[in-house]
């Protein structure tokens, strides 16, 4: 999936030197009209994500919304000679128009971490932002697929679910917490240690999206490279769990992962679009409503289809180390879920 998305981007870039070729190429590969809206489009993630979504030939309309600065981002991105028509929307008055008719809404709106903070420290500000944006989604595009990036994802997804339930629009098949960056990191770190080609690697990452709730299943990594020792697996697991913090510290107060997150967000949105378009066997890890553990929301492999989630896949065989990791994450994840639900219903 990642390889095919990169191929699509490369194809677009190659063909963009001749606009009539671009038109002909899209004409010969018809794909349905799809509107994608990015909420928080002027931010650190939002801008490169807007760029990557503009390069995606599955998108016909790209709506870029933020509280400020979207006219400039939209004008800039709109000059790229690819399929989608780009419009910028700014402020509460224009939120409805940004959302109307959307097939996929991607939400990277909210504040990022600074060194010393946990993702949960963002709750007080971001919970309110997510609640108000989801209230608007329920009103203007209740059938859209939602890709929630805003942290703490472990709580913002339950908040969104509660808002949609109250509005009578909740469809558990269409609400996704974006955990793709955990998978992206696990793939990169594993390839380096196992000595395999990073482009071929897959590693499921389950649980949630914060600290120990991020549980990479390296025992299921493919392809198998050199055998890794228990110490190496422990170190890889910790590096994946602390990947966000590694970036926050390196940026030293200037925010958290934005470029790798934009890539991960674009990969996940592309998978959702393919699913909506009926492409078979699209599987990505995501944090969704789930019954595969006793937790009501849980990240695992999910098969995507025309209605969003087609199937939440099970965990497969776990090593003792992974089983222990699963037990260790449950209480934190449960309390983050409860915190979100309580906030939404307060």
Ligand X SMILES: NC(=O)C1=CN([C@@H]2O[C@H](COP(=O)(O)OP(=O)(O)OC[C@H]3O[C@@H](n4cnc5c(N)ncnc54)[C@H](O)[C@@H]3O)[C@@H](O)[C@H]2O)C=CC1
Catalytic residues, by residue number, are: 209
Is 225 assigned to a binding site? no
The minimum distance between CB 254 and ligand OAA, in angstroms, equals 12
Is residue 245 packed enough to be buried (19+ CB in 10 Å), middle (13-18) or exposed (0-12)? middle
Q: Is the dihedral of CA 49, 55, 58, 59 positive or negative?
A: positive
Is 5 assigned to a binding site? no
For residues 317 and 219, is the Cβ–Cβ distance under 8 A? Answer: yes
Two tokens at 258? Answer: 């934005």
Is 151 assigned to a binding site? yes
Instruction: Say whether residue 256 binds ligand X (CB under 6 A).
Output: yes
Q: For 305-322, what is the HEC assignment?
A: ECCEEEEECCCCCCCHHH
For residues 80 and 11, is the Cβ–Cβ distance under 8 A? Answer: no
Residue list 60-119, contact with ligand X (CB under 6 A): 65-68, 108-113
- Please identify which residue in 107, 127, 257, 333 interacts with ligand OAA, judged by CB under 6 A: 257
Q: Would you give the binding string for ligand OAA spanning residues 69-98, x where CB under 6 A is met?
A: ------------------------------
The minimum distance between CB 149 and ligand OAA, in angstroms, equals 8
**What is the spatial distance between Cα 221 and Cα 206, in angstroms, rounded to a whole number?**
13
User: Considering only 80-88, 192-200, 252-260, 297-305, which stretch makes contact with ligand X by CB under 6 A?
Assistant: 252-260
User: Considering only 112-120, 140-148, 191-199, 338-346, which stretch makes contact with ligand OAA by CB under 6 A?
Assistant: 112-120
Smaller CB separation from ligand OAA, 153 or 191: 153
- Please identify which residue in 37, 151, 213, 286 interacts with ligand OAA, judged by CB under 6 A: 151
Q: How far is CA 95 from the centre of its chain?
A: 21
Instruction: Say whether residue 216 binds ligand X (CB under 6 A).
Output: no
Question: 3-state class of 301 per DSSP?
Answer: strand
Q: Return the exposure string of 147-178: e unless at least 16 CB atoms fall within 10 Å of the residue's CB, then b.
A: bbbbbbbbbbbbbbbbbbeeeebbbbbbbbbb
Residue list 26-55, contact with ligand X (CB under 6 A): 39-40, 42-46
Binding site for ligand X (CB under 6 A): 39-40, 42-46, 65-68, 108-113, 122, 126, 129, 133, 149-151, 153, 178, 181, 209, 255-258, 261
Binding region for NAD(+)? 40-46, 66, 126, 149-151, 261
């Amino acid at each position: 999936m990642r390889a095919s998305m990169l191929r699509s981007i490369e194809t677009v870039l190659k063909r963009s030197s001749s606009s009539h070729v671009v038109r002909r190429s899209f004409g010969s590969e018809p794909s349905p009209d799809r509107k994608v809206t990015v909420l928080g489009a002027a931010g650190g993630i939002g801008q490169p994500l807007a760029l990557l979504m503009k390069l995606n030939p599955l998108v016909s309309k790209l709506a870029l919304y933020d509280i400020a600065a979207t006219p400039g981002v939209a004008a800039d991105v709109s000059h790229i000679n690819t399929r989608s028509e780009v419009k910028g929307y700014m402020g509460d008055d224009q939120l409805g128009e940004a959302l109307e008719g959307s097939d996929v809404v991607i939400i990277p709106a909210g504040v990022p971490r600074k060194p010393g903070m946990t993702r949960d420290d963002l709750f007080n500000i971001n919970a309110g932002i997510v609640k108000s944006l989801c209230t608007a989604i329920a009103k203007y595009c209740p059938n859209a697929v939602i890709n929630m990036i805003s942290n703490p994802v472990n709580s913002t997804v339950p908040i969104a679910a509660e808002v949609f339930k109250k509005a009578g629009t909740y469809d558990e098949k269409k609400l996704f917490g974006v955990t793709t960056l955990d998978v992206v990191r696990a793939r990169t770190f594993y390839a380096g240690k196992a000595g395999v080609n990073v482009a071929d690697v897959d590693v499921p990452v389950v649980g949630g999206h914060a600290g120990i709730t991020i549980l990479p299943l390296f025992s299921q990594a493919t392809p198998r490279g050199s055998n890794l020792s228990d110490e190496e697996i422990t170190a890889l697991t910790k590096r994946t769990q602390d990947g966000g913090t590694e970036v926050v510290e390196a940026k030293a107060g200037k925010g958290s992962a934005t470029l790798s997150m934009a890539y991960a967000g674009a990969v996940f949105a592309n998978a959702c679009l393919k699913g909506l378009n009926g492409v078979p066997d699209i599987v990505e890890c995501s944090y969704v409503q789930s019954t595969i553990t006793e937790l009501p929301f849980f990240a695992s492999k999910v098969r995507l289809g025309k209605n969003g989630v087609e199937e939440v896949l099970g965990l497969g065989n776990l090593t003792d180390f992974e089983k222990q990791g699963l037990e260790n994450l449950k209480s934190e994840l449960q309390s983050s879920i409860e915190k979100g639900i309580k906030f939404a219903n307060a």
